[in-house]
């Protein structure tokens, strides 16, 4: 059994911890937190060993009546690999801790690509990270784009991708984020960081991205235009994408017009936290005009990277091939509608 530690138990970390605990070939050693808040209490209620990320704050957990298994160093020492799901920039501060214990680490998309040996997306470059010590699971948006572009590139050769990312202002629990009454070009200059980030996975791919931020919390929406060298029909693209386990083609008869109904659908299907691990591609939007493919997809920022972290564990440790790992992860968490 692969022993996995999760350092940082917030939006991403708690989901990754649950997904790791569900895998037949992994054991969750525990999770580390800085504060004894509701998430710390839930971790303990779930039966997870809780480690104190900051030794001086250990007292606070005792005062809150939350049992701590030890300092974060013990978690790192006892794990075959650590998933660092701390806020952007804190992963970089934690790197020496992982190096000290010779424990490979997975970081999240908020960290700089320069921090790590390789960036990762299971569908696109699984085999490239075997044996690496520091790997970054790319952000929610880059994950969503990589999953889509990988089959298009393999099947039709991408001449140029152009994507406008309409991004949620903050996650539902991020009460301090905005905008609350505006639609912002963000950044106003080109490119947004997403295109260069996709190039950490596909170095040769030609892609331009523009970003916007809007008063929404549920999901991101991508308006995608991909110019293809070998031009297929829209039906052929639909068939190709339908075969991808982490792409969910929204059937027209579902009458899902946006992120609100998508989340409702996920909750009706008893998805934990209403999570949507798949890219949600509107089937009806898939169109070919001349040699350009157009479509819309929605990305659930809080959860699409979760199965990718699970696969990155196996990829780094050289446990299986991509296909086996992706299938195992999907089966264990119930991915696929």
Give the active site residues: 140
- The full DSSP string for 275-287 is ---SEEEEGGG-E
Q: Find out whether 48 and 30 touch, Cβ atoms under 8 Å.
A: yes
CA 256 – CA 269 distance, rounded (Å)? 14
Cα dihedral 304, 310, 311, 313 sign: positive
* Among 20, 85, 228, 313, contact with ligand NAD (rule: CB under 6 A): 85
Please identify which residue in 70, 71, 110, 215 interacts with ligand NAD, judged by CB under 6 A: 110
CA–CA distances in Å: residue 76 to residues 4, 281, 286, 335: 9, 38, 45, 29
- Please report whether residue 171 would count as binding ligand NAD according to CB under 6 A: yes
140 in a labelled binding site:
yes
Tokens of 56: 């001086």
Nearer to ligand NAD, 10 or 151 (CB): 10
Of 3-11, 126-134, 148-156, 196-204, the segment contacting ligand NAD by CB under 6 A is: 3-11
Strands 207-214 and 81-84: unpaired
Strand-strand pairing, 81-84 and 105-107: parallel
The residue at minimum Cβ distance from ligand NAD is 10
Binding to ligand NAD (CB under 6 A) within 120-159 occurs at 139-140
Is residue 295 part of the contact set for ligand NAD (CB under 6 A)?
Answer: no
Smallest separation, CB 239 to ligand NAD (Å):
30
Which secondary structure element, helix H or strand E, spans residue 82, and what is its range?
Answer: strand 81-84
The annotation places the binding site for D-glyceraldehyde 3-phosphate at: 139-141, 194-195
The binding site for ligand NAD (CB under 6 A) comprises 7-13, 32-35, 39, 53, 85-88, 90, 108-111, 139-140, 171, 301-302, 305
The annotation places the binding site at: 11-12, 110, 139-141, 168, 194-195, 301
The annotation places the binding site for NAD(+) at: 11-12, 110, 168, 301
């Amino acid at each position: 059994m692969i022993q996995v530690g999760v350092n940082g138990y917030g939006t991403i970390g708690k989901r990754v911890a649950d997904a790791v605990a569900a895998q037949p070939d992994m054991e969750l050693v525990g999770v580390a937190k800085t504060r004894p808040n509701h998430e710390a209490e839930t971790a303990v209620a779930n039966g997870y060993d809780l480690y104190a990320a900051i030794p001086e704050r250990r007292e606070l957990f005792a005062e809150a009546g939350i049992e701590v298994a030890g300092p974060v160093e013990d978690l790192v020492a006892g794990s075959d690999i650590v998933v660092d799901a701390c806020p952007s920039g804190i992963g970089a501060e934690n790197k020496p801790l992982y190096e000290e214990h010779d424990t490979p680490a997975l970081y999240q998309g908020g960290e700089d690509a320069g921090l790590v040996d390789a960036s990762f997306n299971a569908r696109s470059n699984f085999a490239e990270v075997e044996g690496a010590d520091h790997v970054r699971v790319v952000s929610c948006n880059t994950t969503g784009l990589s999953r889509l572009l990988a089959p298009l590139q393999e099947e039709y050769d991408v001449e140029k991708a152009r994507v406008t990312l309409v991004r949620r202002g903050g996650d539902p629990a991020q009460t301090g984020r905005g905008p609350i009454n505006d639609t912002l070009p963000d950044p106003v200059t080109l490119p947004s960081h997403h295109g260069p980030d996709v190039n950490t996975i596909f170095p040769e791919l030609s892609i331009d991205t523009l970003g916007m931020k809007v008063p929404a919390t549920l999901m991101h929406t991508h308006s995608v235009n991909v110019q293809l060298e070998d031009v297929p029909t829209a039906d052929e693209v639909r068939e190709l994408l339908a075969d991808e386990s982490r792409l969910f083609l929204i059937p027209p008869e579902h009458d899902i017009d946006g992120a609100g109904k998508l989340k409702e659908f996920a909750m009706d299907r008893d998805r934990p936290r209403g999570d949507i691990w798949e890219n949600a591609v509107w089937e009806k939007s898939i169109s070919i005009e001349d040699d350009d493919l157009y479509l819309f997809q929605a990305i659930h920022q809080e959860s699409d990277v979760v199965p990718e972290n699970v696969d990155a564990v196996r990829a780094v440790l050289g446990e299986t091939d991509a296909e086996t790992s992706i299938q195992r992860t999907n089966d264990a968490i119930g991915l696929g509608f």
